[in-house]
Amino acid sequence: MDKEFAYSYNDYVRYGNGFKDMNPISKLTIALCLGISSCIIHRWQFGVALVVLSTILAFYTKIFKKYFKSLLVIAIPLLLLTTVMRQLQYGHVEGNTPLFSLLGWQWYKEPFIASMDIAWYIIGFSSILLIYFLNTEMKDLMLALENRGVTHVASYIMLSSMQSIIDMKKSADTILESQKARGIETDGNLIVRMKAFFPTLGPILLSAMSGTEEKAIAMDARAFSHEGGHTYLRVLRPIPAWEYVVDGLAVLVFLGSIVYTVMKIVHVI
């Protein structure tokens, strides 16, 4: 028997990384405060700064590859769409400053800056949330919420909903791999992929239903419906003082963004 594995349940949940080891609610506070601040300030400079911070955290937590792929999927279409749409909508407005000409299409400075403001505040918001979800186990978040007073039923429903999506994706990948092993074409253009995917829906749904029954039996065996106190295999470490300081700084940034926006509106009026 692996004694180190057995005794690990006597210790707090640790990942060996300062950011990952932070309390899930502390990390959520930071992510929401900075992300919402990006939406409120609505300036590309703040969005770029948030992406830089998120990239540094991605390197620090060793998830840069996964983070970068996900961010590109969001950033590239968004930048292209907002830039082109702004130029089409407001490029003809008198008084715009010419920026450059591309294949006979004159681009202007004001619509370009406005498009950058829109795109980068969304990218900044998305980047910090990506960092949060890629570095936080949902079961740790649910445990932290239970420690704050959320009922075990509500936390289980939220966790089960999130986990079901992950389980269905894994099941779909397994079924597609098995079809590929039998010589069925699963790679190619969109039509080929759709033909390969739709037959997998039946087994995926059947697997999800059987999994629900298994979960119900396991919950009953563990006295899930008992109204008394529950025990946990995972225990989150106490929140250190420095985490409260970092959360406070994030809240100050959020409040500062509100003050900045209000002062800007008052100045315009």
106 has pLDDT over 80: no
What's the confidence (pLDDT) of residue 237?
85
Cα dihedral across residues 134, 140, 144, 150: positive or negative: positive
Phi, psi dihedrals of residue 249, rounded to the nearest 5°: -65, -40
Amino acid at 96: N
- Rounded percentage of the chain residues whose pLDDT exceeds 70: 69
Average pLDDT estimate for 126-143: 89
Q: How far apart are CA 73 and CA 187, in angstroms?
A: 20
What b-and-e string marks burial along 108-119, b requiring 16 or more CB atoms within 10 Å of the CB?
A: beebbebbbbbb
Q: Among residues 22, 67, 78, which one has the least CA distance to residue 239?
A: 22
Q: Which residues contact 139 (CB under 8 A, 6 or more apart)?
A: 159, 234
pLDDT in tens, 199-232: 666 666 666 666 666 676 766 666 666 666 667 7
Q: Among residues 75, 59, 68, 65, which one has the least CA distance to residue 17?
A: 59
Confidence class for position 183, pLDDT limits 50, 70, 90: low
pTM above threshold 0.85: no
6 has pLDDT over 60: no
Choice between 60 and 208, residue whose per-residue pLDDT is larger: 60
Q: Which residues contact 127 (CB under 8 A, 6 or more apart)?
A: 50, 51, 54, 55, 67, 71
Choice between 28 and 159, residue whose per-residue pLDDT is larger: 28
Q: Which residues contact 207 (CB under 8 A, 6 or more apart)?
A: 171
pLDDT in tens, 10-57: 677 778 888 888 999 999 999 999 999 998 988 889 999 999 999 999
What's the confidence (pLDDT) of residue 98?
74
Helices marked H in 3-63: 3-7, 24-41, 44-60
The DSSP code for 141 is H
